[in-house]
Amino acid sequence: MITGANKFPIFPTEHPGWVKALAFSPDGKTLTTVTQSGTIRFWDTTNGDQRFPAIAHKHIGTVLAFSPDSRTLATGNADDTIRLWDIRSGKQTLVRPLGMGTPTALKFSPDGQTLAIGSSKNTIHLWDINLNEQVRVHHDNMEIPRTLAFSADGQTLASAGYPQKIIWWSDVRSSQL
């Protein structure tokens, strides 16, 4: 362990494979990485150790998002699926084929009930986590949404991508999306 001037521990880690995506859990206890080969690792941020053995699947993880309660990780994968992972056990809890192109952005709503998914087919999908179903799809007028953000109350969704546009909707669960 190396301690920086700010006294926060720094854990230099050899990571097998090129890291394609990474994300901290909202509670700060877990750092998750996905490699180009599709290997997912959950790291304990207090000591730098892996929390579980590495999880390998045959499709590349492209984007990651933690639920607000830090219990669930969503991964978007090159096989056009969304996978949900239980952070406490490291186990995959759901695989959802979407048939919408490769996920390019993921974001949970503040209440954790809705997952917004940007795709390589220029669409944004809203998925109700509890019902396990798509509740809305928006065919965006940008090429590919690259990032998504919910407002604090979860009522407004913003997307940004190419060509240099930011678009937002004020009632994401209504038919106005």
pLDDT of residue 29: 92
For residues 83-89, give the mean pLDDT. Answer: 89
**Residues contacting residue 70 through CB under 8 Å, at least 6 positions apart:** 25, 26, 27, 29, 30, 87
* pLDDT value at 142 more than 70: no
pLDDT of residue 132: 86
Lowest mean pLDDT among 3-7, 37-41, 53-57: 3-7
pLDDT of residue 139: 73
Contact by Cβ (8 Å): 73, 23: yes
Lowest mean pLDDT among 1-10, 34-43, 82-91, 118-127: 1-10
DSSP 105-145: EEEE-TTSSEEEEEETTSEEEEEETTTTEEEEEEE-SSS-E
- Domain boundaries defined on the chain: 2-140
Lowest mean pLDDT among 7-16, 79-88, 149-158, 160-169: 7-16
What is the pairing mode between strands 81-86 and 91-97? antiparallel
**Global confidence as pTM:** 0.84
Query: Which CATH architecture fits 2-140?
Result: 7 Propeller (2.130)
